[in-house]
Amino acid sequence: MGDNRWLRNSFVYLIIIIGVIVIFYTLLPSFGARSEEPLTTVVAMAKNNDIREIVIDGRKITVFPRGASAAGTDHFTSRIGRDTDVLGLLVEAGVDVGPPSGVEVVFKGSSGLSSFFGLMLNFLPLIFFGGLILFMMRQAQGSNNQTMSFGRSRAKMMSFNKPTVSFADVAGVDEAKEELQEVVEFLKFPERFLALGARIPKGVLLVGSPGTGKTLMARAVAGEAGVPFFHISGSEFVEMFVGVGAARVRDLFEQAKRNAPCIVFVDEIDAVGRHRGAGLGGGHDEREQTLNQILVEMDGFETNTNIIVIAATNRPDILDPALLRPGRFDRRVTMDLPDIEGRKAILKVHASGKPLAPEVTFDSLAKETPGFSGAELSNLINEAAIMAARGNKKSIFMDDFEEAVDRVIAGPQKKSRHINPREKEMTAYHEAGHALVAWGLEFADPVHKISIVARGQMGGHTSLVPEEDRYLWTKNQFAHRMAVTMGGRVAEQIIFDEVTTGASNDLEQATKLAQGMIKRYGMFNAKVYDEMPISEVIHKARAGEIATVEVYGNDLLVIMTDCAEFRSRKEADFQLAEFSEGLIEKGLQPVTIIIKDSHSLDGLGAPRTFGKAQEMVFLGRDMGGEEKDYGERLGEEIDHAVSVLINTAYEQAVETITTHKSKLVRLAEYLIEYETVSGEAMNRLFNADDDPGAEPAAPITPPETPPAYNANPSPAGHPHPAAPQPTPTLPSTSTDGDSS
């Protein structure tokens, strides 16, 4: 139908162009000629013997005066009637016709066809220009180049002829699937809900980290619903021209109304739905107009009860509140990172149809991949298949999955990297230090694997994997985690009496953990003391009952000889040092006075958080680091508390490694020989330290699976993590001095 309309339009345009050419040729018959003279002038010039040649071409004659060349421009033309006998007129006028001295008369005898071609040749530039205009108009009407149709929506309707995705293809997000299954039921059987007075949801917002399956879930809804499904990206609404975004929104919903009931899916809606009024320049006005039009279409004066909008974003915190209110997006479905059962189900879905060896078990793979998203698990399966194909195997074996995990997390092995024996030994002791501290502390996660194999930027790493997914972190777990991060530096110091740059990332992560404990989770001690008036302090000091007084500005921590602690506050005219000297002069027992850096005995006081992220909503990113909500004095107290936590962790690492130094040496020697040691082999090795007969012949090396380190894992209820947190992986030592 569209092609026939185009042919009709093209024919009309062609007729118009030909008509313009004909009219132009008719009104300007001398177009292309130098000049035109009447026939009487030609005869008069011939009588005066001023003409050398006359060329007769139909009803036009071309006159060449004497002295003019045939190819020159000094000729002119004249028009004659249909029955005019030019030769007879010249003879009657007494003109000498014919060579050598007379006028030479030439008859070209041109046909109508040659005249037409001559006409076309004269107007060829005009014809070319008209064709160019016609071509540009055709391109403007085409779908591939919307030159003149900026306001048309670029949403694409999903074809039902193509293979569709169903809910069976989505795994690991059962709760989200249930929410969207209800939306499908609304579209398929609306009468069942309307009979109870239920209202169809206007919109569903899919929220989750990248790779959790938001777009896949929307495709599954399209495959299950069996209604028209429009999908578009949020960035496709906005162009450089003002008003285009709003026009495209109107056009999108007009298409949706014509195909209702239907579903409209907007991917990455944060590209157009950011909070209004926070732009840094004038360019945000167009985006705000587009957002306003979306708000009106979703829940404005006219309601679209048969259109359901599904949107996806990984930044719900920057969306405009008007977009999130009920009536526009009635439901918010969170796509969490899968737990161990979810990972197992996702692995099964992506591995279906692939030839797996009988030895492959998804239980172990799911346990070894905490914190992996659905997209990462899909990539893991694909990498394993590639590794099997690279080895010309008929099936995918467990070692292919193990190598795939290594490649996904840390990159391929650096087989060409040469490490000198000294650096290899120091790396082995560094990683053995991490593993030994993790083994020796109660609240540290079990060691899964220790490796000094270079991968990517890593020279080695120690991987800890919890026995089950963790949703909450305790203070003891944080403290022992910091001690484990210090284990590498402590091992270097004890064994070599030297430290390397390999611990740089260890120190950074320990500092972040300590800061998170203090500033985000309030994990510090706020001790309450009984009060003791300063007069009673003086009395008990004279009685010899006070051993030490710690001075925190004007606050005093009074420590009695029986270790009881009291709080007091000195008066303005009271000088504690002079008082202590007075006790000595009187021969009484002196009081030890310790001046503390802190200005208050309260320290950080009751548990609270300190500071908050300073974020520019429009840009959607951290612009200014932390916004302080505390003063300089509290800042000093925070620094002091962080230092106390780090020092305590360091001392725990020193104590553990010093106590079990022989185990450290044995583990490091095994690492130097075998390069990779499993957690089980490490445990057998440590047990064999007490029972030499139980020593294993060689370590077992499971897949190298260091999950991404999370410096500040958050407990449930915190807005950042909505799923089990990835198990922190100990920093790895690189041969170039960096840690990753």
Phi, psi of 475 (to 5 degrees): -65, -40
Distance between CA atoms of residues 310 and 266, nearest Å: 6
Distance between CA atoms of residues 338 and 374, nearest Å: 7
Distance between CA atoms of residues 56 and 52, nearest Å: 14
For 94, residues 6+ apart whose C-beta sits below 8 A from its C-beta are 47
Largest pairwise CA distance in the chain: 164
CB 401 within 8 A of CB 703: yes
Which alpha helices (DSSP H) does 441-503 contain, by range? 475-496
- 292's enclosing H/E stretch is helix 284-299
Distance between CA atoms of residues 419 and 735, nearest Å: 7
**Cα-based distances in Å from 383 to 348, 464, 573, 577:** 15, 23, 76, 72
Residue pointed to by tokens 């016709």:
97
- Per-position DSSP letters for 424-441, written without gaps between them: HHHHHHHHHHHHHHHHH-
Using DSSP, state whether 12 is helix, strand or coil. helix
The total number of residues shown for the chain amounts to 740
**Cα dihedral sign for 240, 241, 244, 245?**
positive
Residue 632 is among the residues annotated as catalytic for this protein: no
Neighbours of 84 (CB within 10 A): 13
Q: What is the 3-class SS of 70-137, one letter each residue?
A: CCCCCCEEEECCCCCCHHHHHHHCCCCECCCCCEEEEECCCCHHHHHHHHHHHCHHHHHHHHHHHHHH
For 329, residues 6+ apart whose C-beta sits below 8 A from its C-beta are 202, 203, 204, 205, 309, 311, 323
**Cα-based distances in Å from 68 to 63, 108, 205:** 10, 19, 86
The residue from 224, 383, 431, 492 that is catalytic is 431
Structural tokens at position 193: 């809900």
Structural tokens at position 312: 């996806």
For 309, residues 6+ apart whose C-beta sits below 8 A from its C-beta are 202, 203, 204, 263, 264, 265, 266, 298, 328, 329
Distance between CA atoms of residues 484 and 436, nearest Å: 8
**Cα-based distances in Å from 739 to 427, 433, 505, 730:** 11, 16, 5, 10
Distance between CA atoms of residues 161 and 717, nearest Å: 44
> Which residues belong to the active site?
431
